[in-house]
Amino acid sequence: MVIIFPTDTVYGIGTPIFDIDGINKIYKLKNRSKSKPLACLCKDLEQIKRIAKINKIEEAIINEYMPGALTIIAEAKDEVKEKIGYETIGVRIPNNKLAISLLDKCGPMLTTSVNESGEEPINDYKIIEKIYGSDVDKVYHDDEKMMKISSTVVTIKENNVIILRDGFIKKEQIEKTIKENNI
């Protein structure tokens, strides 16, 4: 199953985390290199902890900024490593009611923005429907406002915040959260 749906940042194309056919279809539709892993959207911290090993710093950051426009690259749990080959996995909880409802129904979903790999995300429902509608199982639409800016992507190495993709949430904000939590 491959679906397209709005999040709080941009439209995403996604599939349940262990749907290998869906994963392959997303890579093919986007002309995306298999060397670029997909991120995983989750409905809550509990879903994140089912697929990723979360330390105290990552949990504090998740509690402060999620749901929201932040993706944390964390160590993948063994099942993820075995089934899809990811040693690490980017996890995020979107701040969008429709997305959360889909994640509640489908479980964690591997996702990426809707676009040709390397191009700007497409955030117009009508254009998405025209380009991808016949290639996916469903294109969802709602009227919640999106930021149209991709999430900030971070990893934590030896208690240091490393920004892998700059976005809405800034490094200084995350470092302040770590300091305030005495971690």
For 35-82, how does the pLDDT look when each residue is reduced to its tens digit (9 = 90+)? 999 999 999 999 999 999 999 999 999 999 999 999 999 999 999 999
Query: Domain with 44 in it: what CATH number?
Result: 3.90.870.10
**Residue 69 structural domain:** 3-180
One-letter amino acid for residue 65 of the chain? Y
Reported as a single tens digit per residue, the pLDDT across 75-102 is: 999 999 999 999 999 999 999 999 999 9
pTM of the complete model: 0.94
Q: Looking at residue 183, what is its pLDDT?
A: 67
* Secondary structure class of 147 (helix, strand, coil): coil
Length of the chain equals 183
Locate tokens 């980017």: which residue? 90
What is the DSSP annotation of 1-61? --EEEE-SSSEEEEEETT-HHHHHHHHHHHT--TTSPPEEE-SSHHHHHHHEE--HHHHHH
Q: Count of domains in the chain?
A: 1
**Average pLDDT score over residue span 170-182:** 86
67: preceding bond cis by omega (within 30 degrees): yes
R_g of the chain, CA atoms, integer Å: 16
For residue 74, what are the β-bridge partners?
Answer: 89
Nearest to 59 by CA among 179, 180, 178: 178
